[in-house]
Copies of this chain bind each other. A is one copy, B any other.
Amino acid sequence: MEDILRKVQDGTMSIDEAKKLLATYEDLGFAKVDHHRQKRQGFPEIIFGEGKTAEQIITILEAMKARQSDVLITRLSEEKANQILRVHPELTYAKVAEIMYWKAEKKQTVSDNYIAIVCAGTSDLRVAEEAAITAEVLGSNVKRIYDVGVAGIHRLLDQAPVIQQATASVVVAGMEGALPSVVGGLVSHPVIAVPTSIGYGANFHGLSALLTMLNSCASGISVVNIDNGFGGAYSAVLIDRLAKGIK
């Protein structure tokens, strides 16, 4: 800061420039976050679609156009998606994942790295796809290993080599949520466990799977919120970027 002030004193820096720099400094601790993540790293702007009307989302999209950012809208019902598509036909809607996105053609860092998206049953598909498409839009390669629940352990073991070669796994499971424990015992990379609300009876809307994952006896597992495929993918992408040497 002294430096800037000295230059202002010297007349070698205009007040406006100094203001901007100091403001930048001011903001560096916080606002940097947005720029660092979203601009420099090529991360898209992310909109949580649930609880927002199509109109509200369209307004946000207009505001973003000025900044020419990529876009990722999660938890977007098909109905709202169709309303938005009428105005923004350039966006893509992934129906199963309930995600809408737009991604500029960019020179992506070519990499063999990939994130394994592992899921227990076909009913966990929505959450798994939310994770998979999020990871792809955020710039990671993805391999999907679906329907490998622990009650038929051979299906999982057959896929073990593919999972083991990933830089991170996002493991999605409902009901008893035991899959991350078994995957965690098979791999040596970080596992992000995503409990889903799929189940019935004493599942309590995903609480059962959530507790299972938090109590996992396997090491290297951390957990995100119930049905939070987006959050699981986001953490995995940050890890994948570190593995690619991006910081």
A244: nearest chain-B partner, CB-CB: B242
Chain B residues with CB under 8 Å of A198's CB are 51
Q: Given the interface contacts A203-B215, A222-B223, does A182 sit within 8 Å of B185 by beta carbon?
A: no
B185 touches A151 (CB 8 A): yes
Q: Is the CB of B151 within 8 A of A182?
A: yes
Task: Pick the contact of A211: B18, B120, B168, B204 (CB < 8 A).
Answer: B204
Kindly provide the distance from the CB of A7 to the nearest chain B CB, expressed in whole angstroms: 10
Q: Which chain B positions have C-beta within 8 A of A11? A: 9
Contact assessment for B5 and A186 in the assembled complex, using a CB-CB cutoff below 8 Å: no
Q: B215, A153: Cβ atoms under 8 Å?
A: no
What are the 3 closest A-B residue pairs judged by CB atoms, nearest first?
Answer: A30-B154, A201-B226, A178-B178
Known: A30-B154, A41-B188, A186-B153. Is A210-B217 also a contact (CB below 8 A)? no
- The answer on a CB contact under 8 Å between A201 and B185 is no
A167 in contact with B30 given A152-B185, A184-B151, A217-B121 (CB within 8 Å): no
Contact string against B for A residues 134-168, beta-carbon threshold 8 Å, 1 for contact and 0 otherwise: 00000000000000011111110100110010011
A-B contact pairs, 10 of them (CB 8 A): A5-B15, A9-B9, A30-B185, A51-B123, A51-B198, A149-B217, A151-B219, A178-B216, A220-B235, A221-B231
Assuming the contacts A188-B36, A235-B222, A242-B243, asked whether A212 and B201 have C-beta atoms less than 8 A apart, the reply is no
Q: What B residues does A202 contact at CB under 8 A?
A: 206-207, 210-211, 214-215, 225-226
Query: Which of chain B's residues have a CB closer than 8 A to the CB of A48?
Result: 123
